Amino acid sequence: MPYFPEDFIFGVATASYQIEGAWNEDGKGESIWDRFAHTPGNIQDGTTGDVACDHYHRFEEDVALLKELGVDAYRFSISWPRIFPEGRGRVNEKGLDFYRSLIGKLQEAGIKPVVTLYHWDLPQKLQDKGGWENQETVEAFAEYARFLFQSFAKEVFLWITHNEPWVVSFVGHYEGRHAPGKRDFKSALQVSRNLLLSHGLAVQAFREEKTLGSIGITLNLTPVHPFSDSEEDILAAKRCDGYFNRWFLDPLFKGEFPEDMLLWYEKKGFALPQLSEEEKSLIAQPIDFLGINYYFRRVVGKGEGAIFEVEFFNPPQSEYTDMGWEIYPEGLYEIVKRVSEEYQPEDIYITENGIALPDQPDSKGRINDQRRIDYLRSHLLALHRAVDEGCPVSGYFVWSLMDNFEWGFGLSKRFGLVYVDYTTLQRIKKASFYWYQKVVKSKRVD
């Protein structure tokens, strides 16, 4: 029966735009996700984050759920435009008060706050001036980060500068499925450079402010397997590994963008993001932990795809989630082992892992999400193998505490341990809530 270490941190995760609602209340400025969701055609089910889970008004009830769940830590993000409505300059005191109250309630409940500085909700005023393509946003992020380090100098356990810079760069600026909805690969490359620089400036500010706690960044990492052992499929998998994983891992831990990807992009005619030696050192300065979001692997082969010449495969013998993602628990073991051996992070937290299911209450109002229990169990067992083999993993966060606004899919995808009835905003604990409650209490997966 695998036991995790006594001091292993079990938690759950959420993000501001996905749960808070109150999109324009108490002085909050517009974010790019307010604008994107208000633009017809962008959200599959036509919903928005205007209300979402109404966490802004129900946070005390939600902290009580966290206390009942018994988690050691709670990962949430701060909405930048709730603090700086224009992105920089004027502070919105009511916004700051909300997070002061939330963190205070968490401390009362004995739960460690884990804060993500940026989980995609950029102030629209900064986007109006170019957003992450613009150096001004890099500077504004550093000011925003420093202000929060000063405001919560002693209360936060982990600080995460960015959530998934790959998604912000390539889903938001190349695929166009996320805000701001650009479809320009050159912009995506420039955004990835600027996100990394902003991360470096924030880490520098954290050290200068002598803030308590630890600081790191969260990457979504996916093992990439070749569809066959042909040379061209192996090369396709290597290109995808570079695109999805090494593009951010290498600058953060080796101080350089991966050479093979730079050559590939140059061959495809894209202007390459430039980094001076000083900027490389800023980005690769030591961090206290790496956050890994793991959900699925990718299986690829040589294809005709525009930039990468790859084709994606869905192994028919596998099970898939409501997002269409393959269920592949071994991938969590693989990615933790690979990152530990190749990049030697000081520490690792699995900052997200979870499954979307078409959860519905039964005739008695209960939600028996056994498939979510099976998913979480299998991934925790895979993680335990990596921990047992000496990988430096100190914690694991389920995505998510409660059902919430799933970006381009709106409210139609449910990841929560707690069900949210969006007509009444009632919270209903699922079977997985009680299963995870036992895991957290016993530190054991059975």
Ligand X SMILES: OC[C@@H]1[C@@H](O)[C@H](O)[C@@H](O)c2nc(CNc3ccccc3)cn21
Q: Which of 163, 211, 353, 432 lies at the binding interface for ligand X (CB under 6 A)? A: 163
Residue 405: other Cβ atoms inside 10 A? 27
DSSP label at 444? B
> Which residues have C-beta within 8 Å of that of residue 317, sequence separation ≥ 6?
none
Q: Catalytic pick from 20, 30, 133, 352?
A: 352
CB of 209 to ligand X, least distance (A): 26
Q: Which of 77, 83, 76 is nearest to 26 (CA)?
A: 83
CB of 409 to ligand X, least distance (A): 8
Distances (CA, A) of 101 to 12, 56, 98, 183: 19, 11, 5, 39
215 belongs to the binding site for ligand X (CB under 6 A): no
Question: Quick check: is 133 catalytic?
Answer: no
445: left (phi over 0), alpha (psi -120 to 50) or beta: beta
* Residue indicated by tokens 């699995």: 350
167 belongs to the binding site for ligand X (CB under 6 A): yes
CB of 248 to ligand X, least distance (A): 13
Q: Which is nearer to ligand X, 18 or 245 (CB)?
A: 18
Q: Which amino acid type is present at position 429?
A: K
Q: Which of 145, 171, 284, 440 lies at the binding interface for ligand X (CB under 6 A)? A: 171
* Residue 399 contacts residue 28 (beta carbons within 8 Å): no
CA distance 320 to 435: 22
15 belongs to the binding site for ligand X (CB under 6 A): yes
Q: Which of 121, 164, 233, 359 lies at the binding interface for ligand X (CB under 6 A)? A: 164
293 belongs to the binding site for ligand X (CB under 6 A): yes
52 belongs to the binding site for ligand X (CB under 6 A): no
* Residue 435 contacts residue 441 (beta carbons within 8 Å): no
Angle between helices 330-343 and 247-254 (to 10 degrees): 30
CA distance 191 to 258: 16
Which neighbouring-strand residues pair with 118? 162
Candidates 160-168, 203-211, 339-347, 370-378 — which segment interacts with ligand X by CB under 6 A? 160-168
CA distance 301 to 311: 5
CB of 275 to ligand X, least distance (A): 25
295 belongs to the binding site for ligand X (CB under 6 A): yes
Reading the block at residue 32, the tokens are 């790019």
CB of 322 to ligand X, least distance (A): 10
16 belongs to the binding site for ligand X (CB under 6 A): no
CB of 198 to ligand X, least distance (A): 18
411 belongs to the binding site for ligand X (CB under 6 A): no
**By CB under 6 A, what part of segment 330-369 binds ligand X?**
352
CA distance 195 to 273: 12
The pattern of x and - marking residues 414 through 433 that bind ligand X according to CB under 6 A reads: -x------------------
326 belongs to the binding site for ligand X (CB under 6 A): no
Q: Catalytic pick from 20, 30, 133, 164?
A: 164
Q: Which of 82, 406, 417, 445 lies at the binding interface for ligand X (CB under 6 A)? A: 406
CB of 315 to ligand X, least distance (A): 18
CB of 220 to ligand X, least distance (A): 4
Q: Which is nearer to ligand X, 74 or 415 (CB)?
A: 415
Q: Which residue is nearest to ligand X (CB)?
A: 220
CA distance 339 to 41: 38
- What is the 3-state composition of the chain as percent helix, strand, coil, each rounded to the nearest 5? 45, 15, 40
Residue 247: other Cβ atoms inside 10 A? 23
220 belongs to the binding site for ligand X (CB under 6 A): yes
Candidates 47-55, 103-111, 159-167, 226-234 — which segment interacts with ligand X by CB under 6 A? 159-167
Q: Which is nearer to ligand X, 54 or 403 (CB)?
A: 403
CB of 415 to ligand X, least distance (A): 6
User: CA-CA-CA-CA torsion for 115, 121, 126, 129, nearest 10 degrees?
Assistant: 140
Residues in the chain: 446
Q: Which of 132, 141, 152, 399 lies at the binding interface for ligand X (CB under 6 A)? A: 399
77 belongs to the binding site for ligand X (CB under 6 A): no
Residue 32's Cα: distance from chain center in Å?
A: 17
Question: Quick check: is 259 catalytic?
Answer: no
> Which residues have C-beta within 8 Å of that of residue 438, sequence separation ≥ 6?
none
Which neighbouring-strand residues pair with 326? 320
Q: Which residues bind ligand X (CB under 6 A)?
A: 15, 18, 163-164, 167, 171, 220, 293, 295, 352, 399, 406, 415
Q: Kindly list the catalytic residues.
A: 164, 352
